[in-house]
Structure 1
Amino acid sequence: MTVLPTLRQLRYLVAVAETRHFGRAAEDCNVTQSTLSAGIQELEAVLGVTLIDRSNRQMALTVLAEDLVLRARALLQAAEELVEAAKIGKQPLSGLLRLGVIPTIGPYMLPPLLRPLRIAFPQLRLYLREDQTARLLDLLGRAKLDAAIIALPYETGGLSRMVLGEDRLFIACPAGHRFAARASIDVDELIGERLLLLEDGHCLRNHAVTACRLVPGKANEDLQGTSLGTLVQMVASGLGLTFLPEMALAVEARAESDVVAVAIDNGEPRRQIALVWRPGSTRVRDMQLLGEALRLRKAATDGGGEGGGDLPGARVDSAPSLSIQG
């Protein structure tokens, strides 16, 4: 009978490959460095190959190990999905669900959803990871996340996705600006205005540039914000104008903020909000339920109400735990 490597040994190998450091890999696996090193040596003995190049002081994977890491990661993901499938079969949207969300959506879309979600699915433990789209999709591809809420258009490869709705873009200007009393403006009127954008990596920056046909020189590259809140503070200080998605208006352009949001003509630039997940995931049913819950919440918010309708599969019980990582 062929002796097979254990999942623990494969996890050690993947951790070493991802951290390129024995100490950090041991921390990620919650074991001592000596335990991890012994596990790697046992794996080498089982496979009959060398995985770690120990000819110099700097740790390096062999060429063969780089290929085996991809296979090991797939096996670990399949094992995790097997366990999740067993849990999900008992009750939908239960257990740990790791959801990524981009910073221009999370603070505005999720808060009104969380309470109805925990009422509907009391056994759900929701872990939120806020990050830029590229990093979220990387984590999703490596099975570090179960799903992510992002804005389209964005290249998502072969990921499955559900479009949750559209989000119009507005221009935010100081209360004393010539646009402030207008119901809407034309895109061409932005020529000559100082436009403030999010720093590189935020998809809202690309959406604004594309939708409003901006060209280099129209935006102020010296004043870039790390968040919509930062940009709004710049606008309130008279440093320029910025773009705000509709879902952020109630928070970022409220009456006391000294910032006014004005609609944009010329096709009303907008982005699509979508839930994405890995194809073939055992949690497809959960993704569909979560997507429908998000759609209902957005519809209630768009309708101007506080949105208290029942979510799919709703039942009242104790609240799930919530973990947030920025």
Structure 2
Amino acid sequence: MNLSALSLRDLEYVVAVAELRHFGRAAERCAVSQPSLSAQIRKLEEALGLSLFERTSRKVLLTPRGEAIVAQARVVLEEARRLLALADGSGGALTGRLRLAAIHTLGPYLFPHILPPLREAWPDLTLILSEGRTDSLLEELRDGRLDAVLLALPVETDGLVAEPLFFEPFLLAHPAGHRLCSSPTLSLNDLDPSELLLLEEGHCLRDQALAACGLSARGGGVHATGLETLRHMVAAGAGCTLMPLLATQGEAGRTASVGGLVDYRPFDASSNGARPPGRVIGLVWRASDPRDRGLRDLAALLHRVMPAGTGPVLS
């Protein structure tokens, strides 16, 4: 195959279909008609002498060889973006499109807080927001499907940059009228492990809650699929849980308190002055991203506008 037959636009089409698993939605993302996108991908497949996708009436799947081609296409596109950043003199500033994701237990509560200042700072930046679990988000980040992720630190940072933003404390969410309501102080030692409700395996918040309470991976007998389900389980009187501060604030926190059936209470600082249980929230991106300077500017902005009730990250 001659290089002249390969275009970056064709690679964008292929990557879009691979990510969305749908030719129509991929065409919308690429601002082209579906017949044109399909024809270009067919042309590329013929030039490469292989099929990139399995096409059925219900879904689109990558072929084994297609997976390798898409992975390399992402590398080529990132290097092309690096070239453009050098050429336009932006010096790594944030321009064009930014695919920003957050873990499920953070995104719905942090995005409303950070979007206004972010949009003010970069009015021409096109934001594509999503959510997921830590492992899948890091995989998508390394593969080039995401540009930056907001999650709880620490994480494995080989090839990545992780910038701490703020400390988010955990509150105790318990049913209204619970025995701990009358306790003058509150520490983790006051919790009954048999009452502890957790998210299902795969959520980093589950691991953080277990670690804070000094329990094994098998601790807690009742699990929830998501944070809002967990909150409603507390409202139903099934037990108590550790709730991230941001999930208790604003409209989401008020609405999901289920008519006053859930109370939130902060933990007291320990006798030696140590912080109450919580997590460090950070922004993570690829070290190879040509927009490194812009992403550092983004991290600095997010640090400046840290939500009320959170605190600085202690070294």
Q: TM-score, normalised by structure 2?
A: 0.75
Partners of 1:87 and 1:95 within 8 A in 2:
no
1:110 partnered with 2:114: no
Partner of 1:238: 237
Q: In structure 1, list runs of 5 or more residues that go unmatched.
A: 304-326
Partner of 1:71: 72
- Of stretches 169-178 and 284-293 in structure 1, the one that deviates more from structure 2 is 169-178
1:287 partnered with 2:295: yes
Q: In structure 2, list runs of 5 or more residues that go unmatched.
A: 55-59
Cα shift readout 1:177-207 (whole Å, capped 9, x = no counterpart)? 1212335434343235411112333211111
CA–CA distance in structure 2, aligned partners of residues 75 and 41 of structure 1: 20
Partners of 1:50 and 1:62 within 8 A in 2:
no
1:202 partnered with 2:203: yes
CA–CA distance in structure 2, aligned partners of residues 216 and 71 of structure 1: 38
Partner of 2:57: none
Partners of 1:52 and 1:61 within 8 A in 2:
yes
User: CA offset at residue 286 of structure 1?
Assistant: 1.4
Partner of 1:215: 216
CA–CA distance in structure 1, aligned partners of residues 260 and 91 of structure 2: 49
State percent identity of aligned pairs: 37
Partners of 2:210 and 2:217 within 8 A in 1:
no
Aligned residue for 2:238, secondary structure, equals coil
Partners of 1:196 and 1:225 within 8 A in 2:
no
CA–CA distance in structure 1, aligned partners of residues 15 and 111 of structure 2: 33
Aligned residue for 2:306, secondary structure, equals helix
Distance 1:85 1:125, change over 3 A: farther
Q: TM-score, normalised by structure 1?
A: 0.73
User: CA offset at residue 216 of structure 1?
Assistant: 5.6
CA–CA distance in structure 1, aligned partners of residues 79 and 169 of structure 2: 39
Letter in 1 for 2:224: Q
Partners of 2:210 and 2:219 within 8 A in 1:
no
User: CA offset at residue 126 of structure 1?
Assistant: 2.5
Letter in 1 for 2:148: A
Partner of 1:97: 98
Partner of 2:226: 226
Distance 1:90 1:245, change over 3 A: same
CA–CA distance in structure 2, aligned partners of residues 216 and 62 of structure 1: 37
Partners of 1:103 and 1:132 within 8 A in 2:
yes
User: CA offset at residue 139 of structure 1?
Assistant: 2.6
Partners of 2:186 and 2:266 within 8 A in 1:
yes
User: CA offset at residue 173 of structure 1?
Assistant: 1.4
CA–CA distance in structure 2, aligned partners of residues 16 and 111 of structure 1: 29
Superposition pairs of residues 79-228 of structure 1, within 5 angstroms: 79-83=80-84, 89=90, 92-182=93-183, 184-215=185-216, 218-221=219-222, 223-227=223-227
Aligned length: 295
User: CA offset at residue 257 of structure 1?
Assistant: 5.6
Letter in 2 for 1:240: G
Partners of 1:136 and 1:148 within 8 A in 2:
yes
CA–CA distance in structure 2, aligned partners of residues 238 and 90 of structure 1: 55
CA–CA distance in structure 1, aligned partners of residues 201 and 277 of structure 2: 20
